[in-house]
Amino acid sequence: MKCPRCVQRIHRAASLCPHCGFSITDADARFGGEELRLRCLTDSAGILRRGDRERVEEAMEKISKRFPQIFVAVYTGALGEVAHIRQFGFWLLNRSAFEDVPVEKPNEAGILLTIDPESKAAGMVFGYLLDPFLEESDTFECLSRAHASWLEQKYADGIIRALAELESILCKRCRQARRDPEHFQRKVQPPAMMGDTVRRIRAGHRNESVKQTASTREEVEK
Partner 1 sequence: MKFPQAWIIAGALVTIAQAATQEAGLPAWKDGERVQLEKDGWVAGGALLSKDPAQVSTAENESKIPEPTAGEIAEPENPRVELPEKFWADYFGEKPKSFLVDPQGLLSTVDHRDRLAFLNYHASDSAIDLYVYVFKGNQEIPGEAREEELIERFFSKGRPAAVVYYYMSAPELSAIYLSPSLMGAIPGAEQHRALESSVMQAIEKPDPSKQIEAFLVQMSIRIYWMERLAGLGTAAAEPMMASASRSDAPVKKHKMMILLQPWIDKSKPLVLPAALLCASLLAGLVMTGWLRRRARYRFPEFEVEPRLGGPHAAGIGAVISFASAAVPPASQRDQVPDYLKRY
- Candidates 30-38, 51-59, 66-74, 203-211 — which segment interacts with partner 1 by CB under 8 A? 66-74
Write out the binding residues for partner 1, residues 89-128 only, by CB under 8 A: 89-90, 93-94, 106-108, 110, 112, 119-128
Residues 6+ apart with CB under 8 A from 109: 69, 70, 71, 127, 129, 130
Binds partner 1 by CB under 8 A, chosen from 133, 156, 160, 166: 133
Applying CB under 8 A, does 52 fall inside the site for partner 1? no
Smallest distance from partner 1 to CB 183, Å: 11
Of 132, 42, 133, nearest to 89 (Cα)?
Answer: 42
Applying CB under 8 A, does 180 fall inside the site for partner 1? no
Question: In sequence order, what are the beta bridge partners of 96?
Answer: 36
- Residues 160 and 115: their CA atoms lie apart, in Å, by 13
Applying CB under 8 A, does 184 fall inside the site for partner 1? yes
Applying CB under 8 A, does 77 fall inside the site for partner 1? no
Phi-psi region of 142 (alpha: psi -120 to 50; beta: other; left: phi over 0): alpha
Smallest distance from partner 1 to CB 122, Å: 5
Residues 6+ apart with CB under 8 A from 33: 95
Smallest distance from partner 1 to CB 55, Å: 19
Write out the binding residues for partner 1, residues 146-175 only, by CB under 8 A: 146-147, 150-151, 170-171, 173-175
Applying CB under 8 A, does 10 fall inside the site for partner 1? yes
| Number of residues lying near partner 1 (CB under 8 A) | 74
Applying CB under 8 A, does 18 fall inside the site for partner 1? no
Question: CB of 163 within 8 A of CB of 59?
Answer: yes
Smallest distance from partner 1 to CB 201, Å: 25
State the DSSP string of 45-87: T----HHHHHHHHHHHHHHHHHSTT-EEEEEE---SSHHHHHH
Applying CB under 8 A, does 137 fall inside the site for partner 1? yes
Applying CB under 8 A, does 47 fall inside the site for partner 1? no
Smallest distance from partner 1 to CB 204, Å: 28
* Continuous segment of H or E residues that includes residue 202: helix 194-221
CA 160 to chain centre: 20
